[in-house]
Amino acid sequence: MSQLFTPYALGPLLVANRIAIAPMCQYSADNGNATDWHMIHLGHLALSGAGLLMTEATAVSPEGRISAEDLGLWSDANQAALANVVQAIRRHAPIPLVVQLGHAGRKASSRAPWQGGACVHLAEGGWQTVAPSAIAHAPGETVPIALDEMGLLQIKGAFVAAAQRVHALGIEGIELHAAHGYLLHQFLSPLSNHRTDVYGGSLENRMRFPLEVYEAVRAAVPDSVAVGVRLSATDWVDGGWEIEQSVRFAQELKQLGADFIHVSSGGISPQQQIPVSPGYQVAFAERIKRDSGLPTISVGLITEAQQAEDIVAQGQSDMVALARAILFDPRWPWHAAAQLGAQVQAPPQYWRSQPREYKHLFGDTTLGQR
C-alpha cells in the first residue's frame, strides 16, 4: 500500500494523505484583500486531491508585506475578503487549510517577481522597513530600522491578532513563517541579527523572539488549531544559520508544543550558494525529524510520485510539500495515486474523468445518465 496516500495528523489537524500544497506568494491582493485571483487559484488547488492546502505568506501588518500586492490579515476587510474564498472552498472540497502568517522585515517593500523583484525605495513609493538590526538585505537597498522594545511588542501583537482572525475564519492551522530571510528568520540568523540585547548574540538569544511569537500565537488560539513553523534549515552562507542551530530551534519548538515543522532553506542573503538538485532539502528535514520528534514536512524539488513515496516510506519526513510542481500539474496527486496504485479524493463533478484503466482511483463512485 502506498504510504504517500495514508492519513496523518499534524497535532489536531487530520489529513487524508501526506501531500501538502506549500505556500506560494501570488502578489495579487488589493490592500491585503484576497481577490478573484485567490478564489480561482486556491479554489482549483483545493480540488487537486492533496491532503492539505496552505495559503501564501499572509502579512500580519501592512509594513510586513513583501510587496504592496501581498495577501494580509490585519484588518476586518482582509478577513472578510479571505472568508469569501474559504467559504467557497468549504462548499466544494474537504481539504483542510493552513494560513502562513509572516512579516517580511527588511525584505519588505519589494516588487513582484514579474516586475523584477527589486527593493522599492522610499522615493519610489516604498515604505520604511524594520528588522532586528539596521542592516540592509543587499547593498543599495533600504536600510531597515532596528526594532526597539515597543516595535517588538507591536509585531508580536500583530501576529496574535492575525492568528485570532485565522481561527475566526474556521481555518484548521497556522504556519509561522521563520524561513526565506523574512523577519523571524532575520532574528535567527547571525548574518542579519547583530543585536547586543537579549534578542541577539548567542543562539539562545537569537531564538528568543521567534519563540516568543510562537508562544503568543499558540496561546491565542484553541488547541484545536494546529500551529507549526516554516524554517530555513541553513542560510547556505559560511557563518550563517545552519542545521545544528535548526535542530536546537526545532527542539525548543517541540517543548513549546509545536504541531509540525516545515523544512526549507536559504533566503537570508544574496551571497547564498545553493546546490540545487532533486529533493535537495530532504536530508535537513530527516535530521530535524529524527532529532526533534516533530511531525515534519519536506519541500524543494519534489516532483515525481515515486520520489515522494520513497521520502515518506523511508521516514525522511512525514509529509511532502509541492509548490511549482503542482502549479505545473494541478492534478499531481491524481496522477501520483494512479501511478502508485492508490486512491484519491475527487469532486463528483469530475468523476467521469477517471481513466478506464484506473477504475478505483476515485474510490467507490457511482455514475448514471439518461
Tell me the catalytic residues: 182
Q: Dihedral, CA atoms, 100, 102, 108, 113, nearest 10 degrees?
A: -10
Distance of CA 311 to the CA centre of its chain: 19
Cell of 303: 516532483
Q: Which residues contact 238 (CB under 8 A, 6 or more apart)?
A: none
Q: Which helix (H) or strand (E) holds 73?
A: none
Q: Which helix (H) or strand (E) holds 201?
A: none
Looking at the DSSP assignment, which residues form a beta bridge with residue 130? Answer: 145
Distance (Å, rounded) from C-alpha 246 to C-alpha 233? 5
The two most distant CA atoms of the chain are separated, in Å, by 76
DSSP 218: H
Helix (H, G, I), strand (E, B) or coil at 21: strand
Distance (Å, rounded) from C-alpha 48 to C-alpha 330? 6
Distance (Å, rounded) from C-alpha 282 to C-alpha 301? 9
Cite the DSSP H helix spans in 47-182: 76-92, 149-168
Distance of CA 146 to the CA centre of its chain: 25
Distance (Å, rounded) from C-alpha 340 to C-alpha 317? 18
Cell of 261: 515543522
Cell of 369: 445518465
